[in-house]
A and B are shown apart, each in its own frame.
Chain A
Amino acid sequence: MPLPESEAPARSERAERAYPVSRREDALVIGREAQRLGLLFGLAKKRAGELAIVVSELASNIAKYGVRGEIALSFDPDGEGDVRVSARDVGPPFRDLELAKTDGCDDRGPIDPAGIIGRGGLGTGLGAVLRLADHFECRQDEAGKEITVLFHREPVSKRRRT
């Protein structure tokens, strides 16, 4: 999956790169790849790490609920210096998206703390995505869903101060 070093995103940064996701391990691999590409794209080290987390959270959701799907990355899609991350899968739609976004919940409701053991997650994945990325969008129907976020270059913490 990792691209050759020479293939810096600067060359074709607007083109979308898609990575198939079907297992949990894919999430970590794609997350790291996003981090690498983010650094090449010129994101600060911390911001690139945050991109990795966003990508990894979205990808592990695909592996967990989405059956199979893909993560698509595009760097600077509309000339604003952002990174666009799309997560598409063929899994069932969220029963309740607002609930799913809430920390400690999945799309059915709060996760029993005792149930976290063996569940493989804390129910904070989408929360993390919302905290670290911008412009969350979700389109879904019976055939699947697509979550798209824009990831601004400057860190969230800096923006809030201004």
Chain B
Amino acid sequence: MSNESEIIEIPPDRLQRIIQGLSYATVDKFAACLDLLRTGGQKDDDFGELEMAFTVFVEELSSAKTALKDTLNKHEQANRELEMKLQMIEMQQAAIRDLSTPIIEVWAGVLCLPVVGLVDSQRSAEMTETLLEMIVAKQARTAIVDITGIDVMDTKTADHFIKMAKAVRLLGSECILSGINPSIAQTLTHIGVDLTGIRTMRNLRDALQAHLRDTEQLGAARAGRNARKPEIAE
């Protein structure tokens, strides 16, 4: 290395190469920059050291930039995937919402609400709303609420189910509760709910049969009236 006081000569073409190289590097054209720097070959003088150092620096910068771009791409990819997953969650949530009050018209005029999973106060309120709306919309004569799938209910929620059944009757339809398990039965009697006018059946099958019996009786009674026969259905 030369003394500080010493003056070194720089050929203008080499200086020009450095300047040109810098401007290439500035605009991310590392390949062009390195090509340019390498055309000069390696000179064993003071300025040659600077050229060498600059070349190494550009090489490092170039690989660092490439790695950064790779990482950014990966991030972008991950972000896209995450967004898709969020969208999926969104759809699943909508599905859960729909499934939380699955009302099926099993027959003309017969609605069935099979309650499964977890019933909290909000869900029971939502169920009541949806069921009452559906009864009016479908002009259902019978609504069967099957709670076979429910083991546990808070007392107030159980009470609300009974109120739901009463509200259905007020609409002029019949509500059959089926599949009440011992624990919920105990809850209901324990809180002293008025069960008059509430029709309960052991299971969904019995409930459907009860509906069919009623319909037959009604049909028979009508047929009887039409034929002017005083036949009374049992």
The answer to the question of A15 belonging to the interface, with a C-beta cut-off of 8 Å to chain B, is no
With A45-B151, A49-B151, A57-B121 as given contacts, are A124 and B129 in contact (CB-CB < 8 Å)?
Answer: no
User: Min CB distance, B116 to chain A, in Å?
Assistant: 11
CB–CB A23/B124 < 8 A? no
Identify which of residues 88-131 in chain A touch chain B, using a CB-to-CB cut-off of 8 Å: 103, 116-125, 127-128, 131
With A46-B152, A119-B125, A120-B126 as given contacts, are A52 and B157 in contact (CB-CB < 8 Å)?
Answer: no
A107 to B123, CA, bound (A): 20
Interface window among B65-73, B93-101, B210-218: B93-101
User: Min CB distance, A105 to chain B, in Å?
Assistant: 12
CB–CB B125/A121 < 8 A? yes
User: Min CB distance, A119 to chain B, in Å?
Assistant: 7
Find the B residue at minimum CB distance from A64: B122
A119 to B97, CA, bound (A): 16
Residues of B within 8 A of A116 (CB): 125
A126 to B35, CA, bound (A): 74
Residues of B within 8 A of A32 (CB): 117-118
CB–CB B156/A53 < 8 A? no
B122 contact from A24, A29, A35, Cβ within 8 A: A24
A52 to B123, CA, bound (A): 13
B157-181 to A contact mask, C-beta < 8 Å, 1/0: 1001000000000000000000000
CB–CB B96/A29 < 8 A? yes
A24 to B126, CA, bound (A): 11
A104 to B124, CA, bound (A): 14
Residues of A within 8 A of B156 (CB): 103, 122, 124, 127-128
B120 contact from A25, A117, A128, Cβ within 8 A: A128
B72-102 to A contact mask, C-beta < 8 Å, 1/0: 0000000000000000000001001100100
Identify which of residues 170-221 in chain B touch chain A, using a CB-to-CB cut-off of 8 Å: 183
CB–CB B154/A28 < 8 A? no
How many residues in B have their beta carbons less than 8 Å from beta carbons of A? 24
B107-128 to A contact mask, C-beta < 8 Å, 1/0: 0000000000111111111100
Interface residues on A, range: 20 to 34
CB–CB A56/B93 < 8 A? no
B93 contact from A23, A123, A124, Cβ within 8 A: A23
The answer to the question of B155 belonging to the interface, with a C-beta cut-off of 8 Å to chain A, is yes
A122 contact from B117, B124, B153, Cβ within 8 A: B124
CB–CB A131/B154 < 8 A? yes
Residues of A within 8 A of B125 (CB): 116, 119-122
CB–CB B154/A52 < 8 A? no
User: Min CB distance, B155 to chain A, in Å?
Assistant: 7
CB–CB B129/A53 < 8 A? no
A12 to B93, CA, bound (A): 29
A103 to B123, CA, bound (A): 16
The answer to the question of A50 belonging to the interface, with a C-beta cut-off of 8 Å to chain B, is yes
The answer to the question of A9 belonging to the interface, with a C-beta cut-off of 8 Å to chain B, is no
The answer to the question of A66 belonging to the interface, with a C-beta cut-off of 8 Å to chain B, is no
CB–CB B117/A28 < 8 A? yes
The answer to the question of A27 belonging to the interface, with a C-beta cut-off of 8 Å to chain B, is yes
A11 to B121, CA, bound (A): 33
CB–CB A25/B93 < 8 A? yes
A127 to B123, CA, bound (A): 15
Contacts A49-B118, A53-B118, A57-B120 supplied; 14 other A-B pairs, CB < 8 Å: A25-B93, A28-B96, A31-B120, A35-B118, A46-B151, A46-B183, A56-B120, A57-B121, A60-B122, A116-B125, A117-B129, A125-B120, A127-B154, A132-B154
11 contacts between A and B (CB under 8 A): A24-B122, A25-B96, A27-B120, A28-B120, A45-B151, A46-B151, A53-B119, A53-B120, A116-B125, A122-B157, A127-B156
